[in-house]
Structure 1
Amino acid sequence: MALSYKDMLVELENKTGYMEQAASEKPFKIPVSFFHRKPRAVGTFSIEFIFSEIRKRLDDVVESNTQFSTYQSNGIWKRIYNAVEASFRQSTVNHITGDVNYLALFLNGKKTILTIHDCYFLYWVSGMTRKLFKKLWLDIPVNKCKYIVAVSEATKSEIIKFTDCPPEKIRVIYSIVSDNYQPSPKQFNIDKPNILHIGTAPNKNFERLAEAIKGLNCKLTVIGKLDKEKTTLLEKNGVDFSFVYNISDGEVLEQYRQCDLLCFTSVYEGFGMPIIEANAVGRPVLTSNISSMPEVAGDAACLVDPYNVEAIRAGLLKIINDKDYRQQLIGNGYENRKRFDIDKIADQYYQLYKEVSEA
């Protein structure tokens, strides 16, 4: 039977109302452009992992537009190209995820968030090079961006020290640890413990560790490439050692499982991810009492002066010889790991995206 004109209007109104209701119930996704460095063939990919996991957690509420720079961050012209390229890839919210801070140069600052993982680069350059790096990696980006995210209070303090940035502009959002890092109990080898050390860059304090374990009956496992100078030092001190590098994430995890304790006595860290990774697996940790490490470790590590060889040695011996202390550190580590839950960190970023998008 044919509908009357009045009935057709009623049916159309009902359909329109249903569609409007369905549209209102569909959650609005915030468009966010995630700006990443172009990964190198060899090196760490922790920044890429962190924000890949965050995007997965926010898939229902964030429309992710992931952008990798065309060129690796080498030389002035390639960096200028990367910065100009980024200006054509903007969204409602722009998020520079780290290590390419200069991408902020041509972005809309009012819509841009910059995550800073550390200020280490200012310690290994000097003269005009340092001034240029400071200007392009800190001064201009920090001044221009709407919000700065520091991965620790220690990094926040450094940003303020170097740039005079207003503290309220900087949000501290910790890094995350992969869900792959789960408790993996292991009988502690008190006769010859396997000490894991991660990294061989200057800030990792390798030489002092090599001196600290001289004469100890232990095995040192290093993740990182050892040059001739470092292997000679270990051989001179009679240290039983091995090293691996350019290994997969799964192989790194296996090294944590195989070790008896982690020694991470760096002289500088923006965060200190290995501390949490060892906590999550269930290994006692020896780390430094300076920089970001006490903040990240809390009561889940033995803290020592990294500039004092004897202090490093004493800390190792305390962990090796005191079973109750080891168990306390392991238990505290399991609790400490909860502070860096992926869902919690992802929600903190989401709240920040909302602030920027609604401004």
Structure 2
Amino acid sequence: MKIVVSGYVGKKITGIGRNLMCLLDNVSSDNKYIIYTNEDMKDDFKFNNPNVTVKTYKVSKTDSLGNLLWTTFVFPFVVLKEKADKALIPNFTLLLLKFRPTVVIMHDLIEFNVPDKFSQKKMFYRTKLADPITAKRADHIITVSENSKRDIAKFLKIPEKKLTVIYNGVDKKKFSKMNSKIAESILEKRGWPQDFLLYAGTIDHPGKNAMGVIKAFEKLKDENKYSGSLILAGMPGSGYDIVEDYVKKSKWSKEIVFTGFVTDEELISLYSKCKVFCFLSLYEGFGIPPLEALACGANVVVSNSSSLPEVVGNVGITVDPLNLDAVADAVVESVENTDRSRDEDIKRHLKKYDWKNLSRDFEKVFDD
């Protein structure tokens, strides 16, 4: 079977791109996958699987509108030209045309759960046009958590038989606890503190709730309950200017570090050395960073909403992301937790997110 994949995943390889690459790299059948990505993204798409071929098109990865138009109006004809059996679209899109059975990956419906996430025009476009049209026209929808599955069924009125949950995974060969001295050396080279709480992900507002992490950190500092710093690792997103302006005015601004984009090596060093990893999103379709942090041995505090309790199970602490007292108490509890007996619990928990098993489930969708 030949499957053609729309490979636009944004300006950088982050959660959606990593998910796609790991799924395709771990498939074991004889299916042939042809992935079309941006000319200026091709060097980031590297596969060990010989059944995956990367081709390019001439829209830049920085042109979000151009990529939406290409995926909507050009990609269906590319699928025809390649004489594909099926098509896969792994990112947000508007599915108007299709000439072959098409599988869409819908990671979340944050626009239905966080009212201020996007501008009014973008909210209308997503909730009234793109989401419902794409969901109804897709032959099958893959989503990444039971929580997202419930949302798609509820908000878009899609029958459950058309939905399959395939979790995001974690590459345990890559994401594992780094040698302490190596991690310290990387932090020192970048001028980052050695004693810190960590947030990793897009720095936006209000969705990812980076502001909640900052305010909880300020509370801990004000009450003299934590002596270290806070590192916010990730690219600016919607509402970043609000977060940045707030930090500039904070009396603890010198203790708060924005890293911008980080390499995988830098990210693993941060996960491995942080006192606590805090991920207080108001809504997540899945939430890859807490899983990566757990794989690197971090103590993890996450929101008690959407998919995050599902992701961390009983090996992380869940808390109301809007209750700063509860967040601060959870961080203190995690900082003081030196019990390593939970390492075996974490190993067992992470088996659920093994890419080989997830890729096998992924291929079953195309075989049905």
What TM-score results when the alignment is normalised by the length of structure 2? Answer: 0.78
In structure 1, the partner of 2:98 is 107
Native 8 Å contact 2:10 2:64 kept in 1: no
In structure 1, the partner of 2:32 is 63
Task: Name the amino acid aligned to 1:118.
Answer: D
Q: Return the offset for 1:251.
A: 1.9
Native 8 Å contact 2:105 2:143 kept in 1: yes
Q: How do 1:76-87 residues align onto structure 2 when only pairs under 5 Å count? A: 79-87=68-76
What SS does the corresponding residue of 1:106 show, helix, strand or coil? coil
Distance 1:74 1:136, change over 3 A: farther
Native 8 Å contact 2:232 2:259 kept in 1: yes
Is 1:253 the counterpart of 2:268? The answer is yes
Q: Return the offset for 1:318.
A: 0.9
In structure 2, the partner of 1:52 is 21
Which one of 29, 36, 43 corresponds to residue 7 of structure 2? 36
Native 8 Å contact 2:9 2:16 kept in 1: no
* Structure richer in helix, relative to its length: 1
Task: Name the amino acid aligned to 1:61.
Answer: D
Task: Name the amino acid aligned to 1:195.
Answer: L
Is 1:152 the counterpart of 2:167? The answer is no
Q: Return the offset for 1:49.
A: 2.3
In 1: Cα distance, 2:276 partner to 2:111 partner: 29
Task: Name the amino acid aligned to 1:313.
Answer: A
In 2: Cα distance, 1:261 partner to 1:78 partner: 37
Aligned residues: 314
In 2: Cα distance, 1:211 partner to 1:129 partner: 28
Task: Name the amino acid aligned to 1:36.
Answer: G
In 2: Cα distance, 1:157 partner to 1:108 partner: 28
Which one of 204, 208, 213 corresponds to residue 208 of structure 2? 204
Native 8 Å contact 2:28 2:360 kept in 1: no
User: Sequence identity, in percent?
Assistant: 22
Distance 1:39 1:322, change over 3 A: closer
Q: How do 1:236-315 residues align onto structure 2 when only pairs under 5 Å count? A: 236-237=251-252, 240-315=255-330
- Structure 1: segments with no counterpart, 5+ residues: 1-29
Q: Return the offset for 1:241.
A: 2.7
What SS does the corresponding residue of 2:78 show, helix, strand or coil? coil
**1:137-174 residue CA offsets vs partner (Å, 9 max, x unmatched):** 31111111111111111111111222111112110000
**1:317-343 residue CA offsets vs partner (Å, 9 max, x unmatched):** 11122333xx35544322222111010
In 1: Cα distance, 2:341 partner to 2:98 partner: 48
In structure 1, the partner of 2:167 is 174
Q: How do 1:108-127 residues align onto structure 2 when only pairs under 5 Å count? A: 108=99, 111-122=101-112, 123=115, 124-125=117-118, 127=120
- Structure 2: segments with no counterpart, 5+ residues: 39-56, 182-193
Task: Name the amino acid aligned to 1:232.
Answer: K
Distance 1:268 1:330, change over 3 A: farther
Distance 1:331 1:307, change over 3 A: farther
Native 8 Å contact 1:210 1:237 kept in 2: no
Native 8 Å contact 1:147 1:169 kept in 2: yes
What TM-score results when the alignment is normalised by the length of structure 1? Answer: 0.79
What do you get for the CA RMSD once the two structures are aligned?
A: 2.6
In 1: Cα distance, 2:69 partner to 2:120 partner: 22
In 2: Cα distance, 1:68 partner to 1:255 partner: 30
Task: Name the amino acid aligned to 2:108.
Answer: D
In structure 2, the partner of 1:219 is 229
Q: Return the offset for 1:292.
A: 0.7
In our comparison, the structure showing a higher alpha carbon Rg is 1
In 2: Cα distance, 1:332 partner to 1:135 partner: 43
In 2: Cα distance, 1:61 partner to 1:348 partner: 15
Native 8 Å contact 2:247 2:253 kept in 1: no
Distance 1:264 1:330, change over 3 A: farther
